[in-house]
Structure 1
Amino acid sequence: MRLLLLLLCVATTAVAQGRILVDTIHSKAIAGNAIGDTPNREVFVYTPPSYDRTPNRRFPVLYLLHGFTSHPREWLDGSYQGLDLQQTMDSLWRVDAGEYLVVMPSADNAMGGTFYVNSAAFGKWEEFVADELVRFIDARYRTRPERLSRGLAGQSMGGFGALYLAQKHGELFGSVYAMSPCCTAMVGELAASSDVWRYVRDTTTVTPPAMAVSVRIARAMTAAFGAPYDTPNTWSQFLPTDLLAKDATGMKRSCAVVIEYGLDDAITSVSLGSRAFADELARAKIPFRLDVFAGDHTNRTRQRFEQRVLPFFAQQFSGVAPNGNCLP
């Protein structure tokens, strides 16, 4: 009998799976944007195996923001070294890590991405994520509707968005993990002296292939921020490093801050910006972790998700990780 019960338990564990649900939110915050982008936004939601089995249980939520020219599906369809976030999350549950929901909004647009800020060109994306999306998820799913049970993570442009939103909305999100965050400061290919800006200004000249991605990102940032990069005080309202230098209040409420980047990342604003942001955290006496790994912008994505990012939030939400700097 004991052997039979054990086999039944193993079988149940082996087949237990979470689900990926796809919702569509009609966003008033995004409606009426200048580029005519649809206000009907897809949101992918992972629910863990016990979500359907335990109807009275509430769960923490990780809000996961994708990168430039990307889409939430890429975390599910194997685009990153075979990563299937659903399977990875289910595996975490099998080793007794804490279960939580993962919410992945689609922020792609005709210019490649929104940068998750309020913008006349792209719509009020900060408002969409921090207000409409959080309220929608808390109303539709059984969440723990408090900031200690909400986390932010993102990759590249999503890393930018995670750091930006964590600072602007410390009352909502308790912890943040930025994966290879781009564009957090005017450094590297975004420095004022960079040739990138010459091609941003002169749209009639063919951009050299080696600079094409950087120029496209810079043009999208210019549209999102509503002014050229050298307009006084405009970009500093959005760049996470500048925001932190001016007022660290929001980030000081964070229970945990992690930034990571690959040593071989060809987007130089990632490494330089990450270190600049870390320097500002240190200056503000905010505890943080800066992880550097062997890899480029995306070629360790699956490994980082499986071994670092997702287990990190399981610890944060379960209370295993120390939260000595977590202010109310």
Structure 2
Amino acid sequence: MYYQLTSKTYCYYLSQIMKWDSFVDVIQKISAGTSIFLNLVLTFLIIKKSPKQLGSYKYLMIYISWFEILYSIIDVVISPIMFSDSSLVVVMIHKTAFLNRKSYWISLILVAIYCACFGTSMGMFGIHFIYRYLVSNGSNYLKTFDDYRIIFWMLFPVASGSIWGSICYFMLAPSDAMNQRLSKKVMLTFGWEIEDVAYLGPYFYQIQPDGSYIIDISSVLGVGIAWLFLFSSLIAIFYCGIRCYLNLTQVMNIKTNDKNVSKNFKNLQAQLFNALVTQTAIPVILMHIPLSIVILFSYIDKDLGTLSGISSITIALFPALDPLPSMFIIQNYRKTIFGLFKITKVISINKK
């Protein structure tokens, strides 16, 4: 497929995207390496340095750390790019970057898995807030985290992500209308043939041959169902977060006979809550807000073009930054890390 482009124009677009691709690729690789290292360190701290009062919550913390490692690996392997053109917005990958051109269905599945990770992330943080609320409230349901039933809690984010990925794969799949809309823009912007691109996403208002528009019901329903899951998770987070804060405030004002135990318990609960709030704010700011903006602009038929690709960078940063709140807010972990820095500093001084 060829287009009437001057060599000057083609070279300009190609040079610009080569710079952008190189920058995104560097960010994804650095973020993936940082994420794997920090999450492995956090896993070690959780296993070896967690206070006894942490209980089964440490399994949830390990769970999210390993999810973020997986997320980083997927992100760096498939190198997804988000792109929008008016009412069309897609997450796409260049198939030849890692697979044979004939493996189109595998490429689509990988894009769907990447989308599924988005849904899994919010479901996962929702479960964490529910757990913290049950602890602060002293609920009997807390027992469900102390035996085999914790597996069902852990499966909830997986189910949420699976539904999200399935919606993208079946309801937001490529079509002839999307190919026609994207083909020229993809060539102009990235220098890629549309046949070499695997993508998923909504096309809200599809242009007809006579210039009229029709609303794509599949896109509207698909995005609507996906965001219903997202908003349900956000409502659970805000509700449990507010109630947890109120309960925690009451606990801080309670006086008991054993002041040492009370103080330790209060400090730990405050640390865990602060870490969780910060840890949840990171994906909301880096993942959900950028994607929401892109979807909103597409819904009102406004073109963001390559600016929508900024979300590819912010999403790549998420798993690299997310372990930091737990590592530096929870006192036991922070002391261990600073202790290692001191030992390293002493060794380096002695060598000199």
Output the TM-score relative to the length of structure 1: 0.27
Structure (1 or 2) with the larger CA radius of gyration: 2
Q: Which has the higher contact order (CA 8 A, sep 6+)?
A: 2
Output the TM-score relative to the length of structure 2: 0.26
Select the structure that is richer in strand.
1
